[in-house]
């Protein structure tokens, strides 16, 4: 695997990838314009015409590939074309600071989270624009990367401002430094690097709390399982934290790839799908509650947990407790759906994927990941710690305190007891 690291000529890498069996190559989609996650390094000379890529996510990709005996083949994507390229099978996994969103969850599989970030705004003139509200005026020009998650955040928060969507993330920074923009939308990980280029800028926010993970093709179940297992071990060893420190600097970044926060994040990802599913059900004339389907979901969940335990070589947790957990998720999902539909401020998406062909298969994939993380829970987690983690990690809008508590109690009941010494 040292051959494929950044020291090799890109042309040689392509030849090696072409010669390797398909199963031995990990095709990694990356943007190259999003440091410290992914940065394209220009060729050193004309004999090496292809670019190479560096950054946190590339370092993770190479470490995973080395552990699994794979050859990494980076593939450049542009953010406006990420979904198109993902669907066109240009790569197996996108590793480029990709934010977890319901729209992406519907189309693929997300790994356990590797980083948490928040949306922030860098402002040129803090006296003229001392807060977020002051930016929301038509004469204010706010730059944002086109086609990515941050463009949607900008649209939601700055409806009246003049938003300038630029289809290259580094070009957004250049426009701000050159003075053609009053503000730019970025995130808590990227902002420190941008502020070095614009030291007089003032930071506002964060406006959101987001998770970044690796976006895997829906048909790559084995890759998703392998990557999750490896990330949990990589986090436990401290190596993932070391890579965060190396690439992000002295920023307080939580350990997201531990079993408990990863499990809660997976359940939160599933709950975040529910408003869209509620809209899809209503448009298709499907009732909110279908008892026979809930029964099938519970039975499938129990079987998924059994299979996951067998693969890990551990005893599965008691079936009754597994059913309580997945029942708590079902009840929370219905509660979120009801409250979202009843909320006049909920902006229903105009386009919703087909519920049978897209949305339900996505929920099944999430259920399988949740099952794997259930059996990965370490012993000895106290109910109080689980409740505190659930309060922090279960963030879906409209989720009620009662639903959150129900999930937390069900997770706490599944924690293995501390082994007797």
Per-residue confidence at 418, pLDDT binned at 50, 70, 90? low
Span 125-165, pLDDT tens digits: 999 999 999 999 999 999 999 999 999 999 999 999 999 99
Q: Which of 225, 248, 271 is the last residue of a domain?
A: 248
Q: Are residues 178 and 242 in the same domain?
A: no
Residue for token pair 């593939």? 75
Residues 293 and 390 in one domain: yes
Question: Coil, helix or strand for 249?
Answer: coil
Percent of the chain with pLDDT over 90: 88
Q: What is the DSSP string of 200-241?
A: T-EEE-----EEE--EE-TT-HHHHHHHHHHHHHHHHTTHHH
Q: Report the CATH number at residue 72.
A: 3.40.190.10
Average pLDDT (280-285) is 93
Residues 17 and 148 grouped into a single domain: no
- Looking at the domain assignment, is residue 311 inside a domain? yes
Give 350 or 219, the one with higher predicted confidence: 219
Q: Which domain holds residue 326?
A: 259-414
Q: Is residue 97 part of a domain?
A: yes
Structure-token pair, residue 401: 């305190």
Rounded to whole angstroms, the Cα distance separating 24 from 69 reads 7
Q: Does residue 254 form part of some domain?
A: no
- What CATH number is attached to the domain comprising 266? 1.20.59.10
DSSP letter string over 91-130? -SEE-SSPBP-HHHHHHSEE-S--EEE-EEEEES-TTT--
Residue 4 has pLDDT above 50, yes or no: no
Q: Residue 34: what are its φ and ψ, rounded to 5°?
A: -135, 65
Residue 420 belongs to some domain of the structure: no
* The pairing of beta strand 38-41 with beta strand 33-34: antiparallel
Residues 276 and 359 in one domain: yes
Say yes or no to pLDDT of 175 above 60.
Answer: yes
399 lies in some domain: yes
Asked if residue 339 has pLDDT above 60, the reply is yes
Q: Are residues 131 and 202 in the same domain?
A: yes
> Is the predicted pLDDT of residue 215 greater than 70, yes or no?
yes
Q: Which two tokens stand for residue 34?
A: 């999003």
**Do 158 and 102 share a domain, yes or no?**
no
| Confidence band of 322 (pLDDT split at 50, 70, 90) | very high
Cβ proximity of 342 and 382 under 8 Å: no
Please indicate, yes or no, if residue 386 is contained in any of the structural domains: yes
The total domain count for the chain is 3
| Rounded distance between C-alpha atoms, residue 418 and residue 11, angstroms | 52
Provide mean pLDDT across the span 34-43: 93
Cβ atoms of 142 and 282 closer than 8 Å: no
Domain's final residue, options 220, 248, 276: 248
State CA 373 to chain mean position distance: 16
217 in the same domain as 203: no
**What pTM was estimated for this model as a whole?**
0.92
Check whether residue 26 and residue 157 sit in a common domain: no
- Residues 94 and 185 reside in one and the same domain: no
- Domain assignment of residue 186, yes or no: yes
Residue recorded with tokens 């359940």 = 267
Determine, yes or no, domain membership for 342: yes
* Backbone phi, psi, residue 217, to 5°: -60, 145
What's residue 42's pLDDT?
Answer: 84
> Within 10 Å of residue 383's Cβ, how many Cβ atoms?
13
The answer on 275 and 401 residing in a single domain is yes
Q: Are residues 87 and 193 in the same domain?
A: no
Q: How many Å apart are CA 267 and CA 407, to the nearest integer? A: 9
Whether residues 28 and 108 fall in one domain: yes
Nearest to 159 by CA among 343, 344, 347, 352: 347
What is the structure's pLDDT at 356? 93
Which pLDDT score, from 0 to 100, does residue 44 have?
75
Q: Is the pLDDT of residue 415 over 90?
A: yes
Q: Which of 94-98, 157-161, 382-386, 417-421 has the lowest mean pLDDT?
A: 417-421
């Amino acid at each position: 695997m040292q051959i494929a690291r950044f020291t090799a000529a890109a042309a040689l890498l392509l030849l090696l990838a072409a010669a390797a069996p398909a199963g031995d190559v990990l095709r990694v989609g990356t943007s190259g314009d999003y440091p410290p996650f992914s940065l394209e390094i220009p060729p050193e000379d004309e004999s090496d015409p292809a670019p190479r890529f560096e950054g946190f996510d590339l370092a993770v990709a190479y470490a995973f590939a080395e552990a699994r005996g794979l050859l990494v083949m980076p593939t450049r994507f542009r953010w406006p074309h990420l979904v198109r390229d993902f669907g066109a099978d240009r790569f197996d996994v996108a590793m480029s600071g990709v934010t977890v969103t319901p729209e992406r969850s519907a189309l693929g599989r997300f790994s356990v989270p590797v980083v948490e970030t928040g949306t922030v705004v860098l402002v040129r003139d803090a006296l003229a624009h001392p807060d977020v509200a002051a930016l929301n005026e038509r004469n204010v020009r706010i730059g944002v990367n086109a086609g990515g998650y941050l463009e949607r955040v900008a649209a939601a928060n700055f409806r009246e401002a003049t938003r300038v969507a630029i289809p290259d993330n580094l070009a957004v920074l250049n426009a701000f430094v050159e003075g053609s923009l009053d503000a730019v939308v970025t995130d808590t990980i990227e902002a420190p690097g941008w502020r070095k280029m614009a030291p007089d800028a003032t930071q506002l926010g964060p406006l959101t709390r987001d998770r970044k993970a690796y976006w895997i093709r829906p048909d790559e179940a084995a890759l998703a399982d392998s990557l999750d297992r490896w990330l949990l071990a990589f986090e436990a060893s401290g190596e993932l934290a070391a890579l965060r420190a190396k690439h992000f600097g002295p920023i307080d970044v939580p350990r997201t790839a531990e079993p408990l926060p990863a499990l809660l994040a997976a359940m939160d990802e599933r709950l975040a799908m529910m408003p869209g599913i509620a809209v899809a059900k209503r448009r298709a004339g499907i009732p909110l509650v279908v008892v026979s389907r809930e029964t099938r979901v519970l039975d499938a969940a129990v079987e998924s947990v059994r299979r996951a335990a067998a693969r890990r070589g551990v005893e599965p947790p008691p079936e009754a407790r597994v059913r309580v957990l997945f029942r708590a998720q079902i009840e929370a999902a219905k509660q979120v759906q009801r409250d979202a539909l009843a909320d006049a401020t909920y902006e229903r998406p105009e386009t919703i994927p087909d519920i049978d062909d897209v949305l339900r298969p996505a929920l099944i994939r999430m259920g399988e990941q949740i099952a794997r993380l259930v059996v990965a829970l370490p012993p000895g987690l106290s109910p109080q710690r689980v409740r505190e983690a659930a309060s922090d990690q279960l963030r879906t809008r409209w989720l009620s305190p009662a639903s959150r508590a129900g999930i937390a109690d069900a997770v706490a009941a599944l924690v293995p007891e501390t082994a007797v010494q």
